[in-house]
Structure 1
């Protein structure tokens, strides 16, 4: 498998296929200061028979993104009733004084509104919740769903199903970094897990958590965002997790 070295960053690839094993390819330092060089000893895949999964993290600089803002709520004032006054008899008419010049009412601009990111639904929401449960057990902060990473992950799952391949690099030679960048996500680091055949979010998470390379992606405390894509169809489902951290 081709390994692309990215500038100013380490790249580690973990891959596993049902019935096969896991190999690590690296060229940089990990968090404990050790360095992986060349393929290590294969480790038996712990996924259930008949399922496939694969995972790869990498890191590299990219242009910095714009920061998102949180919406602010504007309090509304409660109306109060004006006291009623007794009417007095009408006074005799006299010369009407001139009315003061009309003063235009000041205009008030409406408070700015900020678009909330879409709330993940269905399988995507369940995978995100299960990932954050595992991260909490490991002392990592929660990852938040990201629509751009969702787009990249969903497109890869669809592509694997449509073109009948199972790999991080598609037949056109595009790797996860290429696909995540094309979706508009400006990343400083990313990781990807893929799987095939597990029927539920719980079962695919169980497979990933029993595979060291995929577990490492899920429990990588440096990741801040997650996108999930699932394609359901004959021979599937195909699952993709794209983790990332923005610049």
Structure 2
């Protein structure tokens, strides 16, 4: 078969959808000199090592999903970041308390559901101070404290089609978010806010407190996503 016929057959293969075959054989239509041939691999020659697969980001370094919050992950990261501040101050780390976490999760969820921000839980039957809510879990503590925060996982945002585009003033607009925080960034930002506030910092670095529970919940206010965060501290004998 001459070179012209071979080229026509290759063109037909391309038109029939065999573009990969054509690409692989394209250079074969031109005769090569023997000196340019690639030598075969020797029997005892080891193949080149495969390239390592790209490392997948850890869950903590993934962007926060504004539709479905990984509550246990963000709470764990806040707990760890809090103990990091304790270590820096030369204080013993907080011990995890399931009862304090129960109180914290319930309060964050209630704030998100009822769209408020307060230490008093509106959905709690007693509607009293946070200490009543903690004691209702059955925990017996000699001292209790609480930190709360409300932080958006979106650093920059654009509101489209809203009656007002200033932060927190939209009605019926579409949220277009940019530069979302990762779970780790969100937890670190919460700790930064608390540590820059004397009262919240005092609770975190109170050496007489030894137990901590963290709970978070996702809520929306005026079309903006927020993560409600609660830290419940206690001294448990």
Question: TM-score, normalised on structure 2?
Answer: 0.51
Q: 3-state SS of the aligned residue for 1:232?
A: strand
**Distance in structure 1 (CA, Å) of the matches to 2:109 and 2:202:** 25
Q: 1:198 to 1:213 in 2, by over 3 A?
A: farther
Higher helix share: 2
**Distance in structure 1 (CA, Å) of the matches to 2:115 and 2:108:** 10
The count of corresponding residues between Structure 1 and Structure 2 is 128
**Distance in structure 2 (CA, Å) of the matches to 1:123 and 1:237:** 10
Judge conservation of contact 1:229–1:241 (CA < 8 Å) in 2. yes
Measured on the aligned residues, the alpha-carbon RMSD in Å equals 1.6
2:204 aligned with 1:227: no
1:123 to 36, 59, 74: 74
**Deviation per CA, 1:57-98, whole angstroms, max 9, x where unpaired?**
xxxxxxxxxxxxxxxxxxxxxxxxxxxxxxxxxxxxxxxxxx
1:159 to 94, 97, 110: 110
Structure 1 segment 92-241 matched on structure 2, within 5 A: 121-171=72-122, 173-199=127-153, 200-235=186-221, 236-241=226-231
Displaced runs of 4 or more, over 6 A: none
**Deviation per CA, 1:91-123, whole angstroms, max 9, x where unpaired?**
xxxxxxxxxxxxxxxxxxxxxxxxxxxxx9511
**Distance in structure 1 (CA, Å) of the matches to 2:216 and 2:148:** 10
Q: 3-state SS of the aligned residue for 2:232?
A: strand
Structure 2 gaps, min length 5? 1-70, 154-185
Q: CA deviation at 1:173?
A: 2.6
**Distance in structure 2 (CA, Å) of the matches to 1:123 and 1:167:** 20
Q: 3-state SS of the aligned residue for 2:219?
A: coil
**Deviation per CA, 1:175-229, whole angstroms, max 9, x where unpaired?**
1110001112111101100000243111111110111110100000111110001
